[in-house]
Chain A
Amino acid sequence: GDSVTQMEGPVTLSEEAFLTINCTYTATGYPSLFWYVQYPGEGLQLLLKATKADDKGSNKGFEATYRKETTSFHLEKGSVQVSDSAVYFCAQAGGYGNKLVFGAGTILRVKS
C-alpha cells in the first residue's frame, strides 16, 4: 500500500545551520506531496506542497522538490532558527478520497 518514510529524529541543530529532513514515498499512482509542521501545543499546519514531478514547494524559507525518479521529497532550509523547533511530517495524498498518508514525523530542535 501507499506509505511514507522519513528520517528518524530527533534532529538537533545550532541556529543558522543547514537543515535536511529526508522523505521517501511508495505509491501506486502519482500522489501530491506535502510537508506539515506541528509546533509545541498546536495543531498540524501545512508548510508546503507539490502536486507533480519536478515541482518545488516553498514557504518560510523551507523548500522541497518532488523527485519522481527517486520517489523523494526532502525538506531543506538554509538557515534554521530556534522558532523552527517543531515536529515535521511528510505526507502524500492521492487516489480515491485523496486521503493523507503520513510519515512518523521528525522532531527538530534548534539551539541558540
Chain B
Amino acid sequence: EAGVAQSPRYKIIEKRQSVAFWCNPISGHATLYWYQQILGQGPKLLIQFQNNGVVDDSQLPKDRFSAERLKGVDSTLKIQPAKLEDSAVYLCASSLGTGGRASYEQYFGPGTRLTVT
C-alpha cells in the first residue's frame, strides 16, 4: 500500500514570497490533516479536511495561509506572503475517517522542510 506522498521535500524562499505544498493521501482515506512542526517542537495541527470539507482550521493563520482539497483527494497548502517564522516542516497525514476510534489512526508523509530567508 502506498503511503502519504508530499512534494517538494525541501524548499527555500525569501520572505514575502509565496510557496505551495502538495499532498496525496493514502487511497480511500477520507480525512486529511496538515501540521506545522517548528524545530524543537511537536507538530501542530493547521487544518483538517473530511473529504473536501473543512473540519477544523482554528489554528490556521488565515491572513497568509490557505489550503484546499478539491475532489476530496489531493490537497495543497499555500503560504502568501511567507514570513521568517514560517520556517518549519509541513507534515501531511491521512486517516480513514472520523467515524470512530478504529478509523482515527493517522499516517504521516515525509514532510516538506521550508526555509524562509
Interface of A toward B, CB cutoff 8 Å: 4, 32, 36, 42-46, 49, 51, 89, 91, 93, 96-105
Using CB atoms, name the residue of chain B closest to A91: B42
Listed in ascending order, the chain B residues whose CB lies under 8 Å from chain A are 33, 35, 40-45, 48, 50, 55-56, 91, 93, 95, 98, 101, 104-111
A97 touches B42 (CB 8 A): no
- B56 and A99 contact, CB distance less than 8 A: yes
A100 to B95 CA separation, bound complex (whole angstroms): 12
Partner of B43, one of A46, A96, A100: A100
User: For chain A, what secondary structure do more than half of its interface residues adopt (helix, strand, loop), or is it mixed?
Assistant: strand
Known: A36-B108, A97-B56. 19 other contacts (CB 8 A): A32-B104, A43-B108, A43-B109, A44-B43, A45-B108, A46-B107, A49-B105, A89-B42, A91-B42, A96-B55, A97-B50, A97-B98, A98-B98, A99-B56, A100-B93, A101-B45, A102-B43, A102-B44, A105-B42
Residue of A at shortest CB range from B56?
A97
Is the beta-carbon distance between A44 and B48 smaller than 8 angstroms? Answer: no
